[in-house]
Amino acid sequence: MHIQIAAVGKLKEKYLVLGIAEYAKRLGPYVKLTLTEVADERAPETMSAAEEAQVREREGERLLAQIKPDAHVVALALDGELWSSEDLAGQLDSLATYGRSHVAFVIGGSTGLAPAVLRRAQQRLSFGRMTLPHQLMRLVLLEQVYRAVKINRGEPYHK
């Protein structure tokens, strides 16, 4: 299976870079992993709704350009479905079983995802109603993908 995580912005914090590298290494024997970063838009701290929409659109265009047409897209969005780790494992297993072996998880920037990205997504996933920094979300998502792989393989994983 090919798992892609496409995200807006460059990772800056060393602890996140190290954590992501650790889970990428753990996933190496099981999946082909691609971590795709697209540039975030320079934007003032306070923006009008129209300016936020423009930022989302530009970032969304960059994200969509990095996603292959045959990818099954899962957008991380506050209004998405809440899945347990077992649900995620089941989703990945089902996709692999039915020939959808390229799954792209998409994480927006600080203003969220563009409507075009949300339309491209076959599914929306939420990790809850709390807002998390999009950079931290990458690490959380990678850990959950690793956990899902271990669940599907019937292998132990720390609790």
Domains, in order of start, for the chain? 2-153 (3.40.1280.10)
Q: Residues forming the annotated binding site? A: 76, 108, 127-132
Please choose, from the candidates 82, 80, 74, 77, the residue with its C-alpha nearest in 3D space to the C-alpha of residue 121. 74
Q: Residues forming the annotated binding site for S-adenosyl-L-methionine? A: 76, 108, 127-132
Residue 158 is predicted with a pLDDT of 64
Q: Return per-residue pLDDT of the chain as tens, 159 residues.
A: 999 999 999 998 999 999 999 999 999 999 999 999 999 988 777 888 999 999 999 999 999 999 999 999 999 999 999 999 999 999 999 999 888 889 999 999 988 999 999 999 999 999 998 888 888 999 999 999 999 999 999 998 865
- Region for residue 99 given its phi and psi (left: phi exceeds 0; alpha: psi -120 to 50; beta: otherwise): left
Please choose, from the candidates 141, 144, 149, 136, the residue with its C-alpha nearest in 3D space to the C-alpha of residue 17. 136
pTM of the full structure: 0.93
| Partner residues linked to 5 by β-bridges | 35, 105
